[in-house]
Amino acid sequence: MNTITDKIGLSHASVATALECDFPLVEISQIAEQESWRKEINRPIYHIHKWWATRLGSVFRGITLGALSQPGTDTWAQFYKTHDLAGKVVLDPFMGSGTTLGEAVKLGAKAIGCDINPVSTFLVRQAFTPASEAQLRAAFERLERDVAPEIRRYYQTRDPQTGELIPVLYYFWVKTVTTSEGEVIPLLSRYVFSQDAYPKKKPRAQIVCPGCWGVLEDRYDATELQCQHCGHQFNPQEGPAAGQYVTTKGGQRYRIKELLPKDGAPPHRMYAMMALRADGSKVYLPVRDEDLALNEAAQERLASETLPLPETGVRSGHNTDQARGYGYTRWRDFFNARQLLCLGLLLREILRIDDLMVQEQMLCLFSSTLEFNNLFCSFKGEGTGAVRHMFSNHILKPERTPLENSVWGTDKSSGTFCTLFESRLLRAKRYLDEPFEIEFVYDLMGDRVGSRKTIASNPIKARRVETWAELNAADHGLLILNGDSSKLPVPAGSVDAVVTDPPYFDFVHYSELSDFFFAWLSPVLRDRYQWMAREDSSDQGEVQHKDPRVFARQLAAVFTEACRVLKDDGVLAFSFHHSRAEGWAAIYEAINKSGLAVVAVHPVHAELRAASPKTAAKDPISLDAILVCRKRAFALHKPPVVRDVRTAVDAMSARLQSAGMCISAGDRFVIGAALTLIARAADDLSFDGIKMDLDAIRLAVGPKAGEADDESVITDAELVTV
């Protein structure tokens, strides 16, 4: 089959599944790349709510199918066929958004998913709840009747042409600082606040005048402009903020952080808006007295209402300290008064829905809406989805120029309750009825001419159960657990395959980020679910630590438990990539300590190369390594030498590149590191010993030091609008 394992001399004497000997990595990588362009459309069930590092469904379909198939099975030939793997059981101990569970039940297998994070458990339960579109539409229409008018009244302005009130889509805000002399300075790096995503093709842009705060229209790259309202002359490209500094009108320079308030978040100024005229056209307008009065009315009403708002503080952490340093110490600080009022009114009305199943679907939608309606959002520009959500970087990055979205929204909005109802919630429910795959279309000459959606699975109707006994008794079932995956309520030797995607050891601290949602969900669900009754979404058993050795011990505990529940002829397969040798050394140590051994590796496309924060990396990684493991006692090895690994890296990179994929130096290191793990599978090296091997591989095939960081903390100097 000319696989990687053949190239490095791995024995197939004990192969028990198709995944151990071959994987259609080129074909699936090509499909995965297509899926990655619009994951929320191509696999909507896993994007009903925000989760981090959501893996591609097509890749996990291939992994799961191979893990449950006999050796010699052509996985690609079976990829688009409908399967009914009744009786097979698949476990994901880090279920995240539920990708493994969905792909397993689509194949007709039973699935067990466990996550220690309560937000994950909640969103996966909602994703697989088969609520009818009629039920959801009835609930939405009730909300639209009873609360939408209250919300919309706070998002309107007067059209200067007709004098009529029209809806506001977005408000533009800017943070301000005040000098010791009393000068208030807006943190604008330039006065161009809206331009097209492709400005050279569409150069028209919106500019705010620093003299009168009027809104002007000119080229995005204009350097000389005279305001038509007040006559002020200025350069739109030169705002008072540059990097970590601001400059006063008199030319004095201050460090921004020195001017931040000692207590609380920085103040903001609302200066412009985008509104929707009756004819459907969009118009940019300056903020006038009536608009300021409306915002003040929202503040006054907020003070008089009793609403279900978040009251918890933001805990110190890797992903939260930057926000805390800017005065965001409570989760409610992430919203302005109008947002808190309108979100609170909406949540209060959702909690009045009597049908708890429908209510929780709407709660999930509400929680999704939070991502696009807070002070950490920004404007992406014309010709795009408009709202850059708060998690575009995997840290809580304060925005100097926040964009305030309209909470309920219109059909011309982006990231609002009404638009996400259609694009996230209903789309996910339809996928349960028609779970499709992406398939390429070829012409008579064999050239690819497009893609289409094709049905390759039965409807997802796996009955959700609460215990192993219920799952064991059912032909098809889905068991969704919350808790420590190192202590599963599952009998030994009962699982056919473990398929998962473990967390990184040092970058994305999921619970620190998910606290943002938990702060809203926990108060209304804590009496309903024990796992929601916490101070925050963290748990002492979560697998997350900046020390790779500690992370290895944490991960080993989960892998050891997975090994216990796995059948002797089953495999544990997981996806992983990392730019540093320490990350791979931690994985090697976790595998060894848990009684497992790597028996095969398959590099496969994992993420859109243009996805943020990958665009900030000098040498972005777009490949995952699929590591296939078996219980050590049932795995036979013929370890290769390191130079064979290097040769295999060249061969595999060439194979993927010939299929049209762009392979970076970071990707080459992922391939090389994975092959090193299989080459050293029988050696039981120490952490330092395997790290030396991995450092050598990186030096030989990977990027230079610092060029393949998966993510980096955004510095103060980078806190700028696009």
Domain ranges of the chain: 4-128+460-717, 150-189+239-340+371-418
- Assess contact for 509 and 142: CB atoms under 8 A: no
pLDDT of residue 542: 85
pLDDT at 642 (0 to 100): 45
Average pLDDT over residues 302-321: 93
> What average pLDDT does the segment 264-286 reach?
95
Q: Whole-prediction pTM value?
A: 0.92
CA nearest 219: which of 200, 197, 246, 244? 200
Name the 3-class secondary structure at 715: coil
Task: Find out whether 115 and 94 touch, Cβ atoms under 8 Å.
Answer: yes
At residue 472 the predicted structure's pLDDT band, cuts being 50, 70 and 90, is: very high
Distance in angstroms (rounded) separating the CA atoms of residues 48 and 130: 13
Asked if residues 455 and 431 have their Cβ atoms less than 8 Å apart, the reply is no
pLDDT bucket at 1, cuts 50 / 70 / 90? very low
CATH of 4-128+460-717, one of 3.40.50.150, 3.30.360.10, 3.40.50.1980, 3.40.50.300: 3.40.50.150
Mean pLDDT across the chain, nearest whole number?
A: 90
**276 — pLDDT class (breaks 50, 70, 90):** very high
Quick count: other Cβ atoms within 10 Å of Cβ 11?
13
Mean pLDDT value of segment 396-412: 94
Per-residue pLDDT at 441: 92
- Cα 721 to Cα 239, 312, 400, 711, 715, distances in angstroms: 12, 28, 6, 19, 13
Residue 90: band (very low, low, confident or very high) from pLDDT cuts 50, 70, 90: very high
For 226, phi then psi, to 5°, come to -115, 125
Alpha carbon distance 479, 588 (integer Å): 29
**Between these two residues, 604 and 15, which has the higher pLDDT value?**
604
Lowest model confidence (mean pLDDT) among 175-179, 341-345, 659-663? 659-663
What is the pLDDT confidence band of residue 706, given thresholds at 50, 70 and 90?
low
Sign of the dihedral defined by the CA atoms of residues 368, 392, 540, 56, in that order: positive
Q: Which residues contact 149 (CB under 8 A, 6 or more apart)?
A: none
Confidence of residue 608 (pLDDT cuts 50, 70, 90): low
Q: How far apart are CA 378 and CA 604, in angstroms?
A: 33
For 428-438, what is the mean pLDDT? 95
pLDDT of residue 4: 46
pLDDT at 721 over 50: no
Taking residues 440-449, report their average pLDDT: 87
Pick the range with the lowest mean pLDDT from 412-421, 428-437, 691-700, 710-719.
710-719
Tokens at residue 593, please?
A: 């300590």
pLDDT category at 508 given cuts 50, 70, 90 is low
Buried b (16+ CB within 10 A) or exposed e, 470-501: ebeeeebbbbbbbbbbbebebeeebbbbbbbb
CB burial readout 330-347, b (16+ within 10 A) else e: bbbbbbbbbbbbbbbbbb
Q: 93 — phi, psi (to 5°)?
A: -80, -5
Residue 530 class from Cβ within 10 Å (0-12 exposed, 13-18 middle, 19+ buried)?
Answer: exposed
- Percent share of the chain, pLDDT over 90: 70
Does residue 65 or residue 508 have the better pLDDT? 65
Name 478's Cβ contacts closer than 8 Å, sequence gap at least 6. 101, 105, 110, 111, 113, 128, 462, 463, 464, 465, 471
pLDDT on residue 722: 25
Position 439 scores a pLDDT of 92
pLDDT at 560: 97
For residues 123-140, give the mean pLDDT. 96
Predicted confidence band of residue 251 (pLDDT cuts 50, 70, 90): very high
Q: What is the DSSP track for 70-92?
A: -TT--HHHHTTS----TT-EEEE
Distance CA 133, CA 131 (A): 7
For residue 56, what are its two tokens? 């591609």
| Residue 643: predicted pLDDT | 56
Work out the pLDDT band at 704, boundaries 50, 70, 90: low
Q: In this model, does residue 318 exceed pLDDT 70?
A: yes
